Chains A and B, each alone.
Chain A
Amino acid sequence: MRPGAAYTGRLLRVDLSTGEWAVEPLDGALADQCLGGRALGARLLYDEVHPATDPLGTANKLIFTTGPLVGTLAPSTARWCVSTKSPQTGIYLFSICSGNLGVELKKSGFDVLVVEGRSETPVYLRITNGRPTLSSSAHLWGLDTFSTQEVLQQELKRFGTHSLACIGPAGEQLSKMACIISGRRAAGRGGPGAVMGAKNLKAIAVRGIGDVTVADLAGFMTCVNEARRRIDAAPFLRQALSRYGSAVSVGLVNERGMLPTRNWQSGVFADAQGILPQSFRENAVIKDLACPTCPIGCSKLCAGTDGSVSEGPEYETIYAFGSACGIGDIGRIVQADLLCDQLGLDTIAAGVTIAFVMECFQKGLVTSEQLDGLPVEFGRGEVLPVLLRKMALREGIGDLLADGVLLAQQRLAVSDDSFAMHAKGMELGGYDPRGAKSQALVFGAGPRGGCHHANGYVITAELASGLYDRFSVNGKGGLVRGARDLRTVLDSTITCAFAGIANGLDITAELLAAATGDDWDMTRLVEVGERCSNLERAYNGLIGIRREHDTLPGRLLHEPLLEGASSGQIVEMDALLDDFYATCGWDIVSGLPTEEKLRELGLADVADDLAEQVADSSLRA
């Protein structure tokens, strides 16, 4: 790593407890080993936040990382990553969001922003032209994310336009499903908004004026043009995804009997007409939008019930508030999506939690009284806005639901946990793994809990490539491992996964070589990806995560799907895990990375930490 060649070479550290700040050099060896984004965040978290840290305590940190391609014209790279210990899962968390916040950080001269400590009173952090200032946010406290950003933008006008990230009421209330909103986009999963709330940090505003520079501009632009050409030549990206957004998958997944419906009681949603791509396009979309630097433009400005206008929903939100809640009215889904953005709630977590309560109500496990008299029944779209507001403000039933499905199940005293649809406390994304077995490993063995893609995106390979028998467990460990190592690299440069469909490791290596002036090739890149996953796994291992935690809700393991094209299927988790661990070089019994694997990846210190902890725990046993 050389400062000025895709990196600024500097890290900004702000301590909210003391109000002090410092600029530190970014360790070049760290950047060479971990690139940026997710992998760099994982390493810094490993080094700086002890595994026993209370996620909502003063010692937890918010590590905002950019990446070597961020701020350049490399397609779909205006992104930033936040790494922290998750209040929702209690384990490792990263969350990536698009928009210019990371670009502005780099233009301010920083690759990384570390926010630590806790302010006694509500504040916001402004970084203008590289200089951080903490100011009171008392006047913003209680405002939703859109109002917060409006007020701040007005207030900061005299300093120029800033990129903003903030929390809404949900984050202030320490909801474990609180996200961070930047513009109209979210760092959604795992509750990073609650970490901001616990630190009394309402918002971050960044404006930089410097250039983002690369080592070989002409060579880099040649690679950029090639990357653009490949995206233009990919019909899935420039025709399907551009036109319908990620909602394009709704029909395919439903046809395969994998669209989680009525809280995963079925994989076929009979009322899907209203959420199918063509209908979505015709009835909801009012404008095509793109994240900065993205030639695909999968973002859709949509009109919802009550005249609400939202950027989104995308596939996962359509699943969570749509099929999972038995709601086929796209207007209601748009309305719920917008409300979540304003309140600062993660849409997947909120939708899946509500779907769980709907099933409890269906089965008579909760009373109408417990639900504040609300008709929390499948298909009742009008209940969504009421519930979401209650959740964000912790009012009545909302207080029981505000922290996600795992705690909702416990608080409602529902003894059967087989249909609380989460893994390690994080609500599942919208692909039933009973119909595509590799997805079980993505949910069950992923680094941040039940996320649908952090452990690699496998749905296209399973459903559309023709290379895999989706019901078989054979070869699925390797499929996930390959998808995982591509994903961790993209998340570290930081490039959107959709752009990665056209621009894989080869073009990424070329872009990086031209940008940094260093030798990057595919082998070295895969190593970065693998190193990232092993660091994440080791960190979770130090927290106590073992093989027995790599599991899924009982419904997926024991209840065969009863209708549709995946009928009769369940998830064979043990066989899948054996294969995956073996492929990863992880211990089959414990699920921990082996010492050899860690040393091979240059993580000898991590191997020592893990060995020490394992020895300690066996002594205690």
Chain B
Amino acid sequence: MSIGERILVFDPCKCTSCSICELTCSVAKERAFNSNKARLKVISEPDPANPDLLSCHMCDRPACVAACPTRAIEIGEGVGMVWIVKQDCTACRRCVSACPFGAINMWEGMLSPVVCDFCAGQPKCVQACPWAALQQSD
């Protein structure tokens, strides 16, 4: 898999910017309704005709991993899924800045950032999207 190939495939033509994916993610991961805490984000301003999705691309050579000074970000075997080891993270935010896709989220008051883990292969956002604008790649 090359850099930038998404596991979550996004179709901007089908997306209505309803943000159901974001809230669904926050419920699945944080047990609360709060789109700030989602692991993905739909950007629909300033051009609502062409929304974009910010989410993890599972890069081959992840910039977030390279940027981490404490090696707190690990890469899964086989797929490029990353996860952040909380006890090693110093909350320096370098991974947040390094990710070219804006996929790493760290909101106010957080002790370490979060990133999409694809819900163990069954992403809740994909299931919740009313228009199949989010699909899972093979």
Contacts and interface: CB of A to CB of B under 8 A. Distances in A.
Interface of A: 71-73, 107, 129, 150, 184, 209-214, 217, 221, 228, 232, 286-295, 297, 299, 301, 309, 311
A211 B109 CA distance: 13
B33 A286 contact: no
10 A-B pairs with the lowest CB-CB distances in the bound complex, closest first: A211-B32, A295-B130, A290-B18, A290-B16, A212-B33, A297-B16, A287-B49, A211-B34, A292-B19, A73-B23
A311 B16 contact: no
A290 B46 CA distance: 15
B18 A209 contact: no
Given A292-B18, A301-B49, A217 B30 contact: no
B23 A209 contact: no
B26 to A, nearest CB: 8
A92 B31 CA distance: 39
Contact of A287 (B18, B32, B33, B48): B48
B27 A209 contact: no
Given A290-B18, A297-B130, A301-B48, A217 B27 contact: yes
Contacts of B18: 290-295, 297
A129 B36 CA distance: 13
Nearest to A213: B32
Contacts of B48: 184, 287, 289, 301, 311
Interface string B23-48: 11001001111101100000000101
B101 interface: no
Contacts of A209: 34, 36, 107-109
B55 interface: no
B98 interface: no
B33 to A, nearest CB: 4
B17 interface: yes
A595 B106 CA distance: 57
B108 A295 contact: no
A74 to B, nearest CB: 10
B33 A129 contact: no
Contacts of B36: 107, 209
Contacts of B46: 150
Nearest to A153: B45
A369 B17 CA distance: 48
Nearest to B33: A212
Nearest to A72: B33
Interface string B118-133: 0000000000001100
B89 interface: no
B27 A221 contact: yes
B31 A217 contact: yes
Contact of A73 (B16, B20, B31, B37): B20
Contacts of B31: 217
Contacts of B32: 211-213, 217
Given A213-B33, A311-B48, A129 B108 contact: yes
Contacts of A309: 49
B35 to A, nearest CB: 8
Contacts of B24: 73
B73 to A, nearest CB: 24
A11 to B, nearest CB: 20
A209 B108 CA distance: 8
A292 B27 CA distance: 15
A211 B17 contact: no
A228 B127 CA distance: 12
Contacts of A210: 34
A213 B26 CA distance: 11
B37 to A, nearest CB: 8
Contacts of B107: 209
Nearest to A303: B49
B1 to A, nearest CB: 31
A228 B34 CA distance: 19
A148 B24 CA distance: 32
A209 B30 CA distance: 13
A292 B18 CA distance: 4
Contacts of A289: 16-17, 48
Given A213-B33, A297-B18, 13 more contacts: A71-B33, A73-B27, A209-B109, A211-B32, A211-B34, A212-B34, A217-B32, A289-B16, A289-B48, A294-B18, A299-B16, A301-B49, A311-B48
B23 A293 contact: yes
Interface in B85-112: 107-109
A287 B34 CA distance: 26
A228 to B, nearest CB: 8
17 contacts: A107-B36, A150-B46, A209-B107, A210-B34, A211-B33, A211-B34, A212-B32, A213-B33, A217-B31, A228-B130, A287-B48, A287-B49, A289-B16, A289-B48, A292-B18, A293-B19, A297-B131
